[in-house]
A = this chain, B = another copy of it.
Amino acid sequence: MIRTAAVVGTGLIGTSAGLALSRRGVRVHLLDIDEAAARVAAARGAGVFGPPAERVDLAVIAVPPTRVAQVVAQQQRLGLAHAYTDVASVKSPATLAVADAAVQDSSYVGGHPMAGSERSGPLAARADLFEGRTWVLTPGARTSSAALNRTLAAVSLCGAVPVVMEPSAHDRAVALVSHAPHLVATLMAARLGDASREALALAGQGVRDVIRVSGGDAALWTDIIRSNAPAVAEILGELMKDLEALTGALNALEVSAPAPEDALGAVRELLRRGRDGWEAVYEPGGAPGQVTLTVPLADRPGEVDRLIDAAQGAGVCPDGIDLCWSQGSSELSARLAAPPLTAESVRRTLADGGWRVSVAATPS
């Protein structure tokens, strides 16, 4: 357990950690080269302003990636804490220059909470920012278990789920699921800066979601992208090949009235691959070995919506619900796909609701 902590850098992440730890009874000290930021964080209840009188259990170094090593080394010299962790979104020691800056490896554990916001600074901080989120830790060979355990305690107090990874595996992963998506959103957003008022009036939730992250702090993101440039460049290089093929296909569709089949096929194929990626993120693991429940539906107003509500209430996801019309019997029936573990409770809920349910296992 930890009783005292220091947060160095009271931006969005540092202040949110301070709020979460303070709420769980940890005495937190707040430091920032910008005194106003630390004062604001303190005023929001993230801890007390200024350095502690004696070593704290853990220091959370919440500064931009390219400054981490320098700040950790400096605070180790000053004797701020027994253990040190950071929150930078790149973790390779070489990138962070941890070795160059003579960081004492034994008391340092690299960290990266997978949480953020397009808003920045202590005013955007929230005590529940890390709730249920993954918090990656990258202990080195020389990290002491005492330092690791203090960091694990802080992560748990913040409500996050700790995951231990190799620094280089982490950096490749975030290039793919965070840094490249950020730049892709930015590339699209950059097209919208000069959009006419008339065009912007047609902007709906779709484009808003696509570009949302591009509202983030440009200086911080320049630093992040710079620190992970090789991994990000590789992904964007692959994406550029797809984009070249796509624009080639679009130009072919442009010139000829009856659509050339290969151009159409290229667009279709890209959309299909996009859908695969969507499923990997939104429905990881797919739906192997689902159980199918079939429910005949009476021809009564509201019957379909009543069944959909009951099925979803019992844990069936919207995409697992299908309605079938049998020409022969003139009957409408619902087919519900449920994971084996929940199928029986779904069946019971629906049977209790007065429906006639038949069950069949689907081969995976």
Contact = CB atoms under 8 A, between A and B. Distances in A.
Interface string A316-329: 00110111110100
Interface stretch (A137-145, A151-159, A175-183, A347-355): A175-183
A259 B43 CA distance: 37
A39 interface: yes
Contacts of A319: 119
A199 B214 contact: no
A226 interface: yes
Contacts of A267: 222, 225-226
Interface in A256-293: 259, 264, 267-268, 270-282, 284
Nearest to A230: B254
B274 A214 contact: yes
A120 to B, nearest CB: 10
Contacts of A203: 177, 281
A55 interface: no
Contacts of A240: 240, 243-244, 247
- Secondary structure at the A interface, as helix, strand, loop or mixed, is helix
B325 A39 contact: yes
A232 interface: yes
A1 interface: no
A215 interface: yes
A235 to B, nearest CB: 6
A188 B239 contact: yes
Nearest to A161: B201
A344 interface: no
A185 B274 contact: yes
A301 to B, nearest CB: 6
